[in-house]
């Protein structure tokens, strides 16, 4: 009788653990403007074919490209930025990404953990910089936990409503050797379903035959969502609008002639005037983008707004159920 062979222990650097974990979590592209503290991560990108690095010569280009990629591909996009000042250069487009609920994972290199106390010229409070444009911010606290914390970041970046995640990685933890398997990445969560009671309540209101405006956002602006909204409109006579600045909207033959809700508040108020019900399907309540004297901040007529689906919910499914509840046949879309 022979002993079973001992399996070799897998070793990798903290940087390799991060990039390999990201790849397992669905990251395929990294938009990078790295510096000294990210060199181990650059090496790990070179050694991980599943993640394609794209060099940007300015951080705002990286964050803008990541936002656009995430919106259109529907996949998590990764950025690699150099410490607090580099991250700060990309904040404007990360603001846009957070508003669009884009699934972005920002990886920011930092000084070696033992060097932070010396307040070197590029030392900054990265967590405070990241918090306004990230739904999740955390620093890796040891090389051994790099994969685990990366999984936490990926889950935060991908879970609706996605608001971006920022992972800070000290340079020494990138370089240190870690042992053992990577932390498993759970499957991404789907958008939550709208309760049937909500659909039935809004269907009952629309059947009162008052004038309805439907404001579409999030996945209500997919082909599926628009066709369902079109079915509702044909039965109820509702007017359809996209939110003023949608993250993305499919267009093409057979889809409804969908205008955006006007930007200027006076025009938007006129577009919504006379509505007995303003149905929000994946969109937020319309507000003025700036405060103007004698113009209300809330643009819809009082007590007209009804939420069919929040941005993190499956608005397309809710619209289909609403169309069915109203007796709108599939052929009417």
Neighbours of 190 (CB within 10 A): 10
pLDDT tens, residue by residue, 241-289: 999 999 999 999 889 989 999 999 999 999 999 999 999 999 999 999 9
Q: How confident is the model at residue 2 (pLDDT cuts 50, 70, 90)?
A: low
Q: Which domains does the chain have, with CATH numbers?
A: 11-179 (3.40.50.970), 196-332 (3.40.50.1220)
Across the chain, what does the average pLDDT equal?
Answer: 94
Ramachandran bin of 208, using left for φ above 0, alpha for ψ from -120 to 50, beta for the remaining angles = alpha
Asked if the peptide bond before residue 224 counts as cis, ω within 30 degrees of 0, the response is no
Closest Cα partner for 323 from 246, 197, 225?
225
Per-residue pLDDT tens digits for 32-79: 999 999 999 999 999 999 999 999 999 999 999 999 999 999 999 999
Reading the block at residue 319, the tokens are 């619209």
6 Cβ neighbours under 8 A, 6+ residues apart: none
Helices (H) and strands (E) in the chain, counts: 12, 13
* H or E element in which residue 57 lies: none
User: What confidence score (pLDDT) does residue 178 get?
Assistant: 96
Nearest to 21 by CA among 119, 142, 210, 152: 152
Under a CB-based contact definition with an 8 Å cutoff, are residues 265 and 288 in contact? yes
Distance, in Å, from the CA atom of 116 to the CA atom of 138, rounded to the nearest integer, reads 16
Distance in angstroms (rounded) separating the CA atoms of residues 59 and 91: 9
Q: What is the pLDDT of residue 34?
A: 97
| Cβ-Cβ contacts under 8 Å for 297 (sequence gap 6 or more) | 287, 288, 291
């Amino acid at each position: 009788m022979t002993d079973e062979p001992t399996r070799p222990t897998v070793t990798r650097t903290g940087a390799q653990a991060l990039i390999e974990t990201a790849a397992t979590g669905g990251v395929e592209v990294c938009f990078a403007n790295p510096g000294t503290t990210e060199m181990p991560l650059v090496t790990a990108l070179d050694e991980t074919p599943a993640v394609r690095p794209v060099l940007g010569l300015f951080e705002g280009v990286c964050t803008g490209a990541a936002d656009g990629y995430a919106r259109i591909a529907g996949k998590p996009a990764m950025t690699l930025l150099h410490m607090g000042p580099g991250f700060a250069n990309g904040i404007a487009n990360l603001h846009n990404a957070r508003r669009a609920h884009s699934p972005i994972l920002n990886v920011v290199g930092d000084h070696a953990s033992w060097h932070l106390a010396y307040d070197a010229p590029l030392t900054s409070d990265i967590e405070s910089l990241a918090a306004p444009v990230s739904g999740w911010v955390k620093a890796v606290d040891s090389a051994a936990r790099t994969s685990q914390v990366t999984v936490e970041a990926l889950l935060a970046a991908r879970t609706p409503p996605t608001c971006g995640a920022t992972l800070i990685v000290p340079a020494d933890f990138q370089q240190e050797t870690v042992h053992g398997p990577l932390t498993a990445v759970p499957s991404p969560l789907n958008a939550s379903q709208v309760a049937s009671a909500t659909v039935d309540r809004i269907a009952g209101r629309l059947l009162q035959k008052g004038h309805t405006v439907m404001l579409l956002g999030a996945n209500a602006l997919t082909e599926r969502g628009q066709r369902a909204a079109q079915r509702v409109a044909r039965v109820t006579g509702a007017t359809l609008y996209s939110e003023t600045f949608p993250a993305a909207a499919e267009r093409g033959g057979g889809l409804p002639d969908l205008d955006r809700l006007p930007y200027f508040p006076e025009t938007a108020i006129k577009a919504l005037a006379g509505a007995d019900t303003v149905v929000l399907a994946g969109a937020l309540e319309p507000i003025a983008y700036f405060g103007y004297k004698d113009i209300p901040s809330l643009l819809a007529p009082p007590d007209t707004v009804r939420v069919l689906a929040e941005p993190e919910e499956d608005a397309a499914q809710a619209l289909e159920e609403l169309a069915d509840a109203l007796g709108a046949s599939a052929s009417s879309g």
